[in-house]
């Protein structure tokens, strides 16, 4: 197979956009077109002002600036991009199903299937089709069947190339990946994709496997990572009951090189578009093979995470004399982690929902999340009317305003800037007693206590 000259990526989201930007940056001789049905998103990717890119990631603007217009293009003309490409990445969303069989657990593959049908219909030359989206194991089989049965007689080779970037560090993760995983059956197709990555990734970090190992490894990687967070969060509750400190426990166990120190930070609960969705999917797959114990084991990671979010909200209510009705709670952070504007499955949404059910007033400040997004997240839950969400929740652009007159501050995201605030000024403007509930263990207990705050942190 000759060298790849044109790549198309279907899906210009949090994965497609940054991933293709870096592939284009590192392969100036390959033309890359990222396409999406969402016109507003494509317009934002093409915006002259790099502050308007649809995804906020540190360092992304510089990469886009370097490659865009040179060999990186964003377009809504999906058919043209499919027709011209030698290699097509599918990087569309694969959310949890909200209807029918597997509702609430299985991955919804309708967007993937639509892409496959469109590729089959449009393609008049051989293509390598790369699964970039996270997919249930054995999806490639279904893709292959659709491509081969609805196509124009051209050859398709399917590869699985799951993405391991984390949001907030997407560009450094892409520039310096622990590994790149490529699963496939056709050696030439695999080699073609290896060459794309070899432009900057050392060969020994590019792993090649069979299709099913690659598809499954992605789900398993996320399950293992999420499991560590749920494990330390379970211990955080035990720490609170026993007087141990979860940070000290994390450090003590993390120094054992067999355990390792990363991903042991107790928190209000993991969020993000991947962990919950992918574990639910793993659980669903295990159940569909009748592996009940395996399914129950992994499901517990999600149940514990739900418990952690509820526990944090309940702690706020209990500490504030068992009622938050009419009380003003200032939220610092709404994104599911720092350095991203992504709020999907953010713990903040669920903690807010719990407090709003008790008629609290929530005032939110997040440096990167818009008011529209915050209301959309709450409306999506459907717990109360959009009017009630707007009556009970206010979104402000200034952290001091979020906390002025507040009965309590709650830290939901670990943005660095929260550590640099003038907490003496905040204290002077808050009601007394002034509570701080730190869901990220971000602030300095002794400093806050010396200023008269009543400070609660997870796991202490
Ligand atoms: P996203 O929702 O941000 O982006 C997906 C995009 O695909 C959307 O803009 C949507 O309009 C577009 N799309 C859907 N169907 C289309 C079609 N038929 N034609 C053209 N465009 C279409 O999703 P994301 O966060 O980028 O995730 C994409 C995949 O990558 C998912 O499977 C996810 O599990 C996986 N993943 C995500 C992350 C992450 O950090 N977000 C990390 C690793 C893997
Ligand atoms: C995750 C995986 O890390 C990445 O490899 C995969 O490609 C996509 O899913 P992401 O969800 O973007 O990435 O962020 P991650 O850093 O994994 O954090 C997920 C959630 O866990 C966040 O809410 C984060 O705050 C939380 N977390 C993480 C903790 O609470 N404690 C930790 O120690 C680590």
CB atoms within 10 A of CB 238: 12
Q: What is the pLDDT of residues 17-72, one digit of tens each?
A: 999 999 999 999 999 999 999 999 999 999 999 999 999 999 999 999 999 999 99
Confidence of residue 342 (pLDDT cuts 50, 70, 90): very high
Q: How far, in Å, CA of 90 to CA of 249, rounded?
A: 42
Sheet strand arrangement including 127-131: 72-75, 31-35, 6-10, 87-90, 127-131, 156-160, 180-184, 206-209
Q: What fold characterizes domain 303-457? A: Rossmann fold (3.40.50)
Ligand 1 contacts (CB < 6 A) are 10-16, 35-38, 41, 78, 91-94, 111, 114-115, 133-134, 163, 165, 167, 273-274
Same fold, 6-209 and 303-457: yes
* Number of the ligand closest to the Cα of 225: 2
In this prediction, residue 1 carries a pLDDT of 61
Q: What is the pLDDT of residues 101-144, one digit of tens each?
A: 999 999 999 999 999 999 999 999 999 999 999 999 999 999 99
Ligand 2 centroid – CA 167 distance (Å): 8
Domain boundaries, the chain: 6-209, 303-457
* 3-class secondary-structure state, position 453: coil
The protein residue with its alpha carbon nearest to ligand 2, atom 16, reads 166
The protein residue with its alpha carbon nearest to ligand 1, atom 18, reads 115
Is 80 exceeded by the pLDDT of residue 381?
Answer: yes
Residues linked to residue 127 through DSSP beta bridges, in sequence order = 156
- What DSSP designation does 257 have? T
The protein residue with its alpha carbon nearest to ligand 2, atom 17, reads 166
Q: What is the pLDDT of residues 219-256, one digit of tens each?
A: 999 999 999 999 999 999 999 999 999 999 999 999 99
Q: What is the pLDDT of residues 395-411, one digit of tens each?
A: 999 999 999 999 999 99
In this prediction, residue 2 carries a pLDDT of 72
Is 80 exceeded by the pLDDT of residue 326?
Answer: yes
| CATH of region 6-209 | 3.40.50.720
pTM: 0.96
Return the ligand 2 atom nearest residue 340 CA: 12
Residues linked to residue 409 through DSSP beta bridges, in sequence order = 330, 436
Terminal Cα-to-Cα distance of the chain (whole angstroms): 59
Return the ligand 2 atom nearest residue 338 CA: 25
Return the ligand 2 atom nearest residue 268 CA: 30
Question: Mean of the per-residue pLDDT values for the chain?
Answer: 97
Ligand 1 centroid – CA 192 distance (Å): 23
């Amino acid at each position: 197979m000759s060298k790849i000259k044109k790549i198309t990526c279907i899906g210009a989201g949090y994965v497609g956009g940054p991933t293709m930007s870096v592939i284009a940056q590192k392969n100036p001789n390959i033309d890359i077109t990222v396409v999406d049905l969402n016109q507003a998103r494509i317009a934002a990717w093409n915006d002259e002002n790099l502050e308007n890119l649809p995804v906020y990631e540190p360092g992304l603007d510089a990469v886009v600036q370097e490659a865009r217009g040179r060999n990186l293009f964003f377009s809504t003309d999906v058919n043209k991009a499919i027709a011209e490409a030698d290699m097509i990445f599918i990087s569309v969303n694969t959310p949890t199903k909200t209807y029918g069989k597997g509702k609430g657990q299985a991955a919804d593959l309708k967007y993937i299937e639509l892409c496959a049908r469109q590729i089959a219909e449009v393609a008049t030359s051989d293509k390598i089709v790369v699964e970039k989206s996270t997919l249930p194991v054995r999806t490639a089989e279904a893709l292959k069947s659709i491509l081969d049965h609805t196509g124009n007689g051209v050859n398709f080779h399917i590869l699985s190339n799951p993405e391991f970037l984390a949001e907030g560090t997407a560009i450094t993760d892409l520039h310096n990946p622990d590994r790149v995983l490529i699963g496939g059956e056709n050696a030439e197709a695999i080699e073609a994709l290896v060459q794309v990555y070899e432009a900057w990734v050392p060969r020994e970090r590019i792993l090649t496997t069979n299709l099913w190992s690659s598809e499954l490894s992605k789900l398993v990687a996320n399950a293992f990572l999420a499991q560590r967070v749920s494990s330390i969060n379970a211990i955080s509750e035990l720490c609170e009951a026993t007087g141990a400190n979860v940070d000290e426990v994390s450090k003590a166990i993390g120094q054992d090189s067999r355990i390792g120190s990363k991903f042991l930070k107790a928190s209000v609960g993991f969020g993000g578009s991947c962990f919950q969705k992918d574990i639910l999917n793993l659980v669903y797959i295990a159940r569909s093979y009748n592996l009940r114990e395996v399914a129950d084991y992994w499901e517990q990671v999600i149940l514990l995470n739900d418990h952690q979010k509820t526990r944090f909200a309940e702690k706020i209510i209990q500490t504030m004399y068992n009622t938050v009705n009419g009380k003003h709670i200032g939220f610092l952070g709404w994104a599911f982690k720092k350095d991203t504007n992504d709020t999907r499955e953010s713990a903040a949404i669920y903690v807010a929902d719990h407090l709003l059910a008790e008629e609290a007033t929530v005032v939110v400040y997040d440096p990167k999340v818009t008011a529209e997004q915050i209301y959309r997240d709450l409306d999506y839950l459907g717990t109360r009317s959009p009017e009630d969400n707007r009556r009970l929740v206010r979104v402000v652009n200034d952290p001091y305003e979020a906390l002025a007159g507040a009965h309590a501050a709650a830290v939901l995201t670990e943005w660095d800037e929260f550590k640099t605030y003038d907490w003496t000024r905040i204290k002077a403007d808050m009601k007394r007693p002034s509570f701080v509930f730190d869901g990220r263990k971000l602030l300095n207990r002794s400093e806050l206590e010396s200023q008269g705050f009543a400070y609660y942190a997870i796991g202490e």
